[in-house]
Structure 1
Amino acid sequence: MERTLILIKPDAISRGLAGTVLKRFEQKGLKIAGIKMIALTDALLKEHYSHLVDKPFFPTITEFMSRTPVIAMCLEGLEAVDVCRKLCGVTNSRNADPGTIRGDFGMSMQANLVHASDSVENGKAEVARFFSAEELFEYDPALLNYLYASDERK
């Protein structure tokens, strides 16, 4: 099973959409392997968004992402990275398809409710950045037999 990082961003927290966003992932059948609320420090933001540090809009990102705590989740499932990205919709919420989290609830490029890892490699790195091994849990969901065919469960 693949693991990926989801961050429920300050706009979702402030708008009272955290539960709605979480519900979308749960209803799809993704397993919550870890979840916590965390205030993002400058150091963590610089590390997480290191690919954007030199961009002129980086200060705007750090200001936005530190307005409120975020909810960090490690989700697990077959092809979890791609599944989560599809559930989220494209980054610019105005262009996101209806039925996606961003398409249904967002109007912004930055205030787009969620961050989702963009690759399996980044998913592993991001989960490790936000969660210690002790904060991640192994268990079988009660409905596992109804989420995957027997030959898909690993």
Structure 2
Amino acid sequence: MDTELLAAIGEVAVGSARLEYAMAELAMAARGLEGDKQLQKLMKPRKVRDAFRELAAEHADWRPFLRLWQDCEAVLDDRNRLMHAVVVTAADDTEQAHPEFWHVPSDSQVSIGPAAIKEHARDIDRCVRRVMRLIPEAHQRRAAAST
């Protein structure tokens, strides 16, 4: 497998970890939680996504959060399909070999190159920035709700 493809997959993996960490910080801010112990609980597999789902139900009027939640779910679902795929070598009509990703659970196969994977990493980074921008608003909403 070529290094450009591996580097692109690495960008997705690192960006996803940053996104889930930022999502945990936002969930903690929205709930008024603090501390490493609370953060560690949210960083367990699927916990931060569950927390976002609960926040969406509790804050149905918070439109920027609802749009963000949907986008985070989408990029993380795509990340899961990429990270849990097996790379196989396929040949096209010209008999030229190229990598394809076989997602075993869904038994689907897709040919995707480094450029598309890097674009996915950029989508993840955009979600990270949006999450970080909502953290101060989450603190404000929490403060307003407790008065």
What TM-score, normalized by structure 2, do the two folds share? 0.24
Larger radius of gyration: 2
Higher strand fraction (1 or 2): 1
What TM-score, normalized by structure 1, do the two folds share? 0.24
